[in-house]
Structure formats: structure tokens, C-alpha cells
């Protein structure tokens, strides 16, 4: 699972605009709302600049795993087994889920799940076989899904047996016991039942003809008797969505077929596609057969694409969208940030050009902001990796990050600090008291003293050098040579002024203690492409894609996707035997999350930064409810007054 969650960046970060294909702002003709006159038959939603959906099959590789594709597109049509997000908390909402709460037995090695009554739009029921279809697709190639991780606890390799006991009930037997909470939030939450109409290998073949959905789970793994069937189905559905598994870099122009293909017309969610284009607005209409709660109250839901934040702001001013996002550049009045967990940002006055039409709402992402250091970097004359491995160096870097000041000055009050691996906001039961108190508050004097006490000659606004090499007390540390310099490179994602200002401010603060940082910028895709694990060594030193991490669909923040040895998102390759043990204990239920999060917050495997709070503009006549912290907006629950 989740070795891709950094792709699920916040919608208003603006960083997506740097790495996605450029799309036009013109859209299908639609009745105007806002200043041009409200129509209560539709809702027009503004996509984040440059972040238009581009993948419809709800089984994705790392490169397609994004908020734009999942939370803001696929979930509208294809519902996950369990819906996470309850008000402003990252809790499972069983009333919106396809299944009832799972029941554990056999010492948490067997789980029984019962489906509720849901229908596919072609008249068939959502059944246990649809869940088996998903698992069989995954079983034929575990690494094909971005939410997979290597290890005995991950679907599908953790499953000993999958047994259907009725059309609405099935059991999953595991090879070892797993923490029920972790199993629900980080395993069952990844499942999206697939309709039997998709068990085909061509547009002309009969639905169900490929026999992948009805194959026994144990025979669909590589070498099994049904492996070829499921591989063929996976390849076909992927290609129909625009991705060729055998030629990952090949270009397939499948987007124009999304609204016309009979495959994607089979949905169990509240919406179905009416029109879709790479540079045009997405238009969705209610699914008349939708059997769940929160049925749509409007005739159309429109998602408009924009190339820039300025273009989106202009659309707000013109009143041609009902629901959009306000970047810090266009916030004319600051908010008041919270001073302790449990409090929220007090919103300031709205931009006067929008105040008569829109109201402000805030969204706290279930995530954290940070950037990694490369523990095997060959930079800085071959010394960077050795230097980053020293805890005192990481402590000094963190103690020079004044998060509260940056939130007030750069984010105009719309931000909250990140202190560790578990989000402190929105307020939740996962964050520990140790983490909430901020283990490393801003303290330049302490940072300088740390470096001096470990054998460095500190040169304020210059470059520190190691004068006492060695691994003993008072020395620079193992592998660090005499004369080594605290002289690093940090590449960050271009496209957002607030991130540019943050990097400049942090560079100045680090420089005050003699930690010289050379900044450069590149596209979002270039930055995340560079920030990959390289245990045998590579040149990158620090990379900041600006979005940190959102826990979705790894909702239980146990760290598996970030710090286990094989996790693709363990960018800096920070691995210790103790940390691996702590993570495993949270997954099996042998230890609480607190031990893990406190250890990580103290050891600083990454440098934590302020988390921007999303500011949403909503038409005063529209009610959208409280914003979900895992970025799953649910337009079916929105309604006009």
C-alpha cells in the first residue's frame, strides 16, 4: 500500500500545476452562477490549477495515484468498500460505506465482512464476487497497485484464504494476526469492488467472459491456473483508462472515451459521466439507480479545469464557479492560527472582490508537511550522507525552522505546525502529548551550541567546518572527515510563491548558524522523481516537493509506507531495526502508535515544516458541509438553500 501518498497533494498547494499537463480554462457552456445569477440545478466546482483527472480505472500505479483521480473523480462513480472521513475527522463513516463494520475472530487472523444493499447501474447487485474480482486483479501482480508494500502484512500477499459465504458476506483469513484498527483503515479501505461487467478483455467480448472475478483467489497469483485470465483483464482495463502495463511510457489517448465507453457507464456511486475532455470541463449527472444515502440534489456537477491560480481567482470574481479555492496570494485579510491542538484557524475577512458572493471555509488535511534528506547522498564531497545520519545535525536544522512565524507571515495565518509523523491537526486521538508539545521548538542558540559541542567550527552566515572528526563524544560523527562542510543543496518544486518565500526564509535561518544551503527549483514531477531511495548512493541531498504527505488511503498513520525498508516513499532511505520493529508492532496490535510516533518525532528522519490550511470559497447559497480531511469532497451531499 501507499508508497505514493505524496502524490495525493493538497488541492490548493499549486504544486500540481508544475507537474501536470497544461489544460485550458475554457469549458463547456453552462448556466452562470454567483454574480451572473445562481442556477440551483447544478454545482460548478473549480479543480486545482493543473490538476485535472486523467485516470478512471480505480486500480492505479504510483504515477496515477492522486487526489484529482481518486477523491475528486473516481469516488463519485465507484465507491470504496469503506468510506473514511467523518466530519472533520479521519474516521470511517459506516453510513457511507458499502459494508458493515468488519468482525474479527481467531485472534484477529480472520475477518468477516458483510455488504449492504447497493446496486450497479446495469441492474446487478454489488456482491462479494465484486470484492473478489478486485482482490484477484491485485493478486495477479501485487506491485501493480500503488497502495502495496513489500512485507507479510500487505494485501494481497498477507491473505491465506478468501472465502465467499453468501452474495453479501465473505471472510478473509490472514497468514498472521493483524491489528483490527490498522486492518480496517490501511487494508480494507484500499478495496473498491469492481463490476462483473468489467471481466472482459475486449470491447466486443461478452461481460464476464474472462472469468477473473469467479476465479479462486489462490489460483490467481503468478503461476496459478487463472493468472493469465486476470492479467489479461487488468491489461485491458488499464489500457482503456490510458495506461499500458507492458509499455508504461507509451501514450494512449483514452480520455475522450471515458464518457462514452460502456465499461465506465457501470457505476455504483451517486454520479455518472455525461461528458469528459482533456481540456474541457467534466460534467457528471446523477446515477438514477444509486441506492446509497446522500443522493445528488442537482441535475449536474461540473468540474472546471484551470491552468493557473490567477485564472481560477478571476472565475471566482466573475461568479462562474460555485465552489473553489483561494490561494494565499489572493487572501487580503489574515486568519488567526491556533495556538494549541483542538483549536482551529479563525478565518479573516474575505477578499472584498468575493465577499458579497462567497463565504470562506477551511480544510485541515490529514497529513503532515516535511522534506527528506538523503542518508546515502554522495554530495558535499561525499560527506552529505554521513552528516545527515547524525541526529544532532538534524536537530540543529529543525531548531532553525520557526514554523509559527512562517504560518503568520507567509501563509497569512492559515496554517498549522507539523511536529512529527502523526498530524496534530485536525485534533485527533492519534497524536501523542509529546508530539503536540513540539519536541524541537525554534531555538537558534541551541542549534549553534549543538554543532559546536560536536566538533564543528560555527561561522554565522558562512559555512561550518568539522574540526574534530571521529565518532566519540564531542566529535563530528562516524564517516565525517576533518574539513567537511555543512554545505548542502536543496531542490524544491517551482510554481508556488509561498514555497519560494519559505525556502528563502529557511535558507537565511540556517545560514545564521553556518549551515549553508544552495537552493534550486524544478517542476513538481522532477522533484519527486529525484527524491527516490538509493541505498547504494546517489547525488541528491534534500528535496522538497512542497506537499509532504496525506494519509490516504493509509489512514492509520503507522509509518509503513514511509519508513520500512522496501517503501518507495522512504525517499531518504531512513531505516533502523528499532523503527522497523515499532512499525510492525503497530500493525499487529502488539504496541500502541504512541511509541512509534514519539520515537520518530525525536529522531527526525525528515525535517518538518508548516502545513498549509486549505481555504475554500463557497457560494453563500450553497451548503457543502464540513470539509473532509482526506480530501474526499462529496458533492452528492452539497445542496442549494
Instruction: Give tens-digit pLDDT for 188-201.
Output: 999 999 999 999 99
Q: What are the cell numbers at 58?
A: 480505480
Instruction: Give tens-digit pLDDT for 461-476.
Output: 999 999 999 998 999 9
In terms of domains, do 290 and 361 share one?
A: yes
In the predicted structure, residue 1 carries a pLDDT above the cut 60: no
Least confident piece of the model among 216-225, 509-518, 549-558, 564-573? 564-573
Q: Supply the pLDDT for residue 316.
A: 96
pLDDT bracket for residue 376 (50, 70, 90): very high
Q: Supply the pLDDT for residue 632.
A: 64
In the predicted structure, residue 37 carries a pLDDT above the cut 60: no
Alpha carbons 384 and 387: distance in angstroms, whole number: 5
In the predicted structure, residue 27 carries a pLDDT above the cut 50: no
| Mean of pLDDT over the chain | 88
Q: Supply the pLDDT for residue 62.
A: 73
In terms of domains, do 207 and 350 share one?
A: no
Domain count, the chain: 3
In the predicted structure, residue 630 carries a pLDDT above the cut 60: yes
In the predicted structure, residue 20 carries a pLDDT above the cut 60: no
Q: Residue 1 maps to which CATH number? A: 3.40.190.10
Q: Render the burial of 319-328: b for 16+ CB within 10 Å, e for the rest.
A: bbbbbbbbbb
Instruction: Give tens-digit pLDDT for 578-620.
Output: 998 999 888 887 677 999 999 999 999 999 999 989 899 999 9
In terms of domains, do 106 and 24 share one?
A: no
The answer as to whether 561 is a domain residue is yes
Give the torsion through C-alpha atoms of 608, 496, 255, 26, to 10 deg.
150
Instruction: Give tens-digit pLDDT for 167-184.
Output: 999 999 999 999 998 999
In the predicted structure, residue 398 carries a pLDDT above the cut 60: yes
The answer as to whether 454 is a domain residue is yes
- Residue 246 CB-half CA count within 13 A: 7
Q: Supply the pLDDT for residue 34.
A: 39
In the predicted structure, residue 14 carries a pLDDT above the cut 50: no
pLDDT bracket for residue 4 (50, 70, 90): very low
For 174, residues 6+ apart whose C-beta sits below 8 A from its C-beta are: 109, 110, 111, 158, 159, 160
Instruction: Give tens-digit pLDDT for 64-88.
Output: 887 888 888 999 999 999 999 887 8
Do 84 and 189 contact (CB within 8 A), yes or no?
A: yes
In terms of domains, do 235 and 314 share one?
A: no
pLDDT bracket for residue 26 (50, 70, 90): very low
> What does DSSP assign to residue 485?
B
Instruction: Give tens-digit pLDDT for 87-133.
Output: 788 889 999 999 999 999 999 999 999 999 999 999 999 999 999 99
Q: Residue 209 maps to which CATH number? A: 3.90.76.10
Do 44 and 239 contact (CB within 8 A), yes or no?
A: no
The helix (run of H) or strand (run of E) holding residue 174 is strand 169-174
In terms of domains, do 433 and 580 share one?
A: yes
Instruction: Give tens-digit pLDDT for 127-155.
Output: 999 999 999 999 999 989 988 877 778 89
In terms of domains, do 12 and 110 share one?
A: no
Q: Supply the pLDDT for residue 631.
A: 65
Q: Residue 602 maps to which CATH number? A: 3.10.105.10
Beta bridge partners of 171: 112, 163
Beta bridge partners of 45: 303, 323
In the predicted structure, residue 36 carries a pLDDT above the cut 80: no
The answer as to whether 93 is a domain residue is no
Burial class (CB in 10 A: 0-12, 13-18, 19+), 256: exposed
In the predicted structure, residue 25 carries a pLDDT above the cut 80: no
Is 240 or 632 the better-scoring residue by pLDDT?
240
In terms of domains, do 342 and 380 share one?
A: no
In the predicted structure, residue 3 carries a pLDDT above the cut 80: no
Q: Supply the pLDDT for residue 32.
A: 37
Q: Measured between alpha carbons, how far is residue 155 from residues 84, 141, 552, 584 in Å?
A: 19, 11, 16, 15
In the predicted structure, residue 257 carries a pLDDT above the cut 80: yes
Instruction: Give tens-digit pLDDT for 228-239.
Output: 999 999 999 999
The answer as to whether 255 is a domain residue is no
The answer as to whether 263 is a domain residue is no
pTM across the whole model = 0.84
In terms of domains, do 429 and 525 share one?
A: yes
Q: What are the cell numbers at 582?
A: 515499532
In the predicted structure, residue 6 carries a pLDDT above the cut 70: no
121 is in which domain, residue-wise? 99-245
Q: Supply the pLDDT for residue 462.
A: 97
Among residues 588, 555, 569, 631, which one has the least CA distance to residue 188? 555
pLDDT bracket for residue 16 (50, 70, 90): very low
In terms of domains, do 504 and 521 share one?
A: yes
The answer as to whether 251 is a domain residue is no
The answer as to whether 384 is a domain residue is yes
In terms of domains, do 565 and 624 share one?
A: no
Instruction: Give tens-digit pLDDT for 258-316.
Output: 999 999 999 999 999 999 987 789 999 999 999 988 899 999 999 999 888 889 999 99
| Three-class DSSP category at 245 | coil
In terms of domains, do 425 and 352 share one?
A: no
Instruction: Give tens-digit pLDDT for 544-585.
Output: 988 888 888 788 898 888 888 777 688 899 989 999 899 988
In terms of domains, do 233 and 296 share one?
A: no
The answer as to whether 259 is a domain residue is no
Q: What are the cell numbers at 324?
A: 473553489
In the predicted structure, residue 536 carries a pLDDT above the cut 50: yes
Measured in whole angstroms, the distance separating CA 258 from the mean position of its chain's CA atoms is 24
Amino acid at each position: 500500500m501507499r508508497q505514493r501518498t505524496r502524490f495525493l497533494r493538497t488541492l490548493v498547494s499549486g504544486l500540481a500545476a508544475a507537474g501536470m499537463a497544461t489544460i485550458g480554462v475554457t469549458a463547456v457552456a453552462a448556466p452562470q452562477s454567483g454574480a451572473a445569477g445562481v442556477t440551483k440545478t447544478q454545482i460548478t466546482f473549480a479543480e486545482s490549477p493543473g490538476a485535472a483527472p486523467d485516470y478512471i480505472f480505480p486500480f492505479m500505479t504510483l504515477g496515477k495515484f492522486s487526489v484529482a483521480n481518486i477523491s475528486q473523480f473516481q469516488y463519485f462513480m465507484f465507491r470504496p468498500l469503506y468510506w473514511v472521513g467523518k466530519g472533520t475527522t479521519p474516521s470511517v463513516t459506516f453510513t457511507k460505506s458499502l459494508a458493515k463494520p468488519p468482525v474479527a475472530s481467531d485472534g484477529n487472523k480472520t475477518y468477516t465482512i458483510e455488504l449492504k444493499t447497493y446496486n450497479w447501474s446495469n441492474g446487478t447487485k454489488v456482491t462479494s464476487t465484486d470484492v473478489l474480482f478486485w482482490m484477484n486483479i491485485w493478486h495477479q501482480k501485487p506491485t501493480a497497485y500503488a497502495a502495496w508494500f513489500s512485507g507479510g502484512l500487505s494485501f494481497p500477499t498477507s491473505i491465506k484464504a478468501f472465502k465467499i459465504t453468501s452474495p453479501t458476506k465473505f471472510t478473509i483469513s490472514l497468514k498472521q494476526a493483524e491489528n483490527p484498527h490498522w486492518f480496517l483503515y490501511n487494508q480494507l479501505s484500499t478495496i473498491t469492488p469492481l463490476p462483473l461487467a468489467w471481466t472482459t478483455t475486449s470491447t466486443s467480448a461478452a461481460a464476464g467472459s474472462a472469468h477473473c472475478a469467479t476465479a479462486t483467489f489462490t489460483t490467481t497469483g503468478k503461476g496459478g491456473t487463472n493468472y493469465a485470465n486476470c492479467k489479461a483483464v487488468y491489461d485491458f482495463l488499464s489500457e482503456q483508462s490510458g495506461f499500458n502495463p507492458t509499455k508504461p511510457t507509451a501514450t494512449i489517448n483514452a480520455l475522450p472515451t471515458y464518457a462514452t465507453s460502456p465499461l465506465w457507464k457501470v457505476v455504483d456511486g451517486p454520479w455518472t459521466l455525461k461528458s469528459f475532455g482533456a481540456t474541457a470541463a467534466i460534467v457528471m449527472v446523477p446515477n438514477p439507480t444509486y441506492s446509497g444515502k446522500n443522493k445528488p440534489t442537482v441535475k449536474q456537477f461540473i468540474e472546471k479545469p484551470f491552468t493557473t491560480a490567477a485564472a481560477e481567482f478571476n472565475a471566482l470574481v466573475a461568479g462562474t464557479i460555485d465552489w473553489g479555492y483561494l490561494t494565499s496570494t489572493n487572501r487580503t485579510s489574515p486568519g488567526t492560527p491556533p495556538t494549541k491542538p483542538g483549536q482551529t484557524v479563525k478565518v479573516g475577512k474575505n477578499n472584498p472582490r468575493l465577499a458579497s458572493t462567497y463565504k470562506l471555509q477551511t480544510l485541515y488535511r490529514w497529513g503532515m508537511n516535511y522534506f527528506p534528506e538523503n542518508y546515502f547522498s554522495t554530495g558535499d564531497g561525499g560527506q552529505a550522507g554521513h552528516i545527515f545520519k547524525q541526529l544532532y545535525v538534524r536537530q540543529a536544522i529543525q531548531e532553525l525552522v520557526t514554523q509559527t512565524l512562517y504560518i503568520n507571515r507567509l501563509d497569512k495565518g492559515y496554517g498549522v505546525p507539523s511536529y512529527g509523523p502523526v498530524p496534530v491537526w485536525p485534533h485527533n486521538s492519534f497524536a501523542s502529548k509529546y508530539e503536540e508539545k513540539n519536541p524541537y521548538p525554534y531555538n537558534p542558540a541551541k542549534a549553534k551550541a549543538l554543532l559546536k559541542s560536536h566538533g564543528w567550527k560555527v561561522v554565522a552566515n558562512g559555512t561550518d567546518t568539522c574540526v574534530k572528526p571521529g565518532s566519540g563524544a564531542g566529535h563530528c560523527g562516524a564517516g565525517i572527515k576533518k574539513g567537511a562542510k555543512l554545505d548542502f543543496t536543496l531542490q524544491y518544486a517551482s510554481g508556488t510563491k509561498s514555497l519560494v518565500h519559505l525556502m528563502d526564509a529557511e535558507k537565511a535561518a540556517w545560514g545564521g548558524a553556518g549551515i549553508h544551503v544552495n537552493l534550486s527549483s524544478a517542476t513538481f514531477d522532477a522533484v519527486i522523481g529525484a527524491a527516490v531511495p538509493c541505498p547504494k548512493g546517489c547525488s541528491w541531498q534534500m528535496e522538497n516537493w512542497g506537499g509532504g504527505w496525506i494519509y490516504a488511503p493509509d489512514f492509520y498513520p503507522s509509518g509503513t509506507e514511509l519508513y520500512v525498508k522496501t517503501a518507495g516513499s522512504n525517499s531518504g532511505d531512513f531505516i533502523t531495526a528499532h523503527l522497523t520493529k515499532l512499525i510492525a508492532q503497530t500493525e499487529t496490535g502488539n504496541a500502541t502508535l504512541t511509541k512509534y510516533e514519539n520515537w520518530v518525532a525525536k529522531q527526525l528522519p525528515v525535517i518538518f515544516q508548516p502545513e498549509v490550511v486549505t481555504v475554500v470559497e463557497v457560494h453563500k447559497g450553497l451548503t457543502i458541509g464540513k470539509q473532509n480531511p482526506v480530501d474526499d469532497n462529496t458533492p452528492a451531499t452539497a445542496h442549494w438553500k
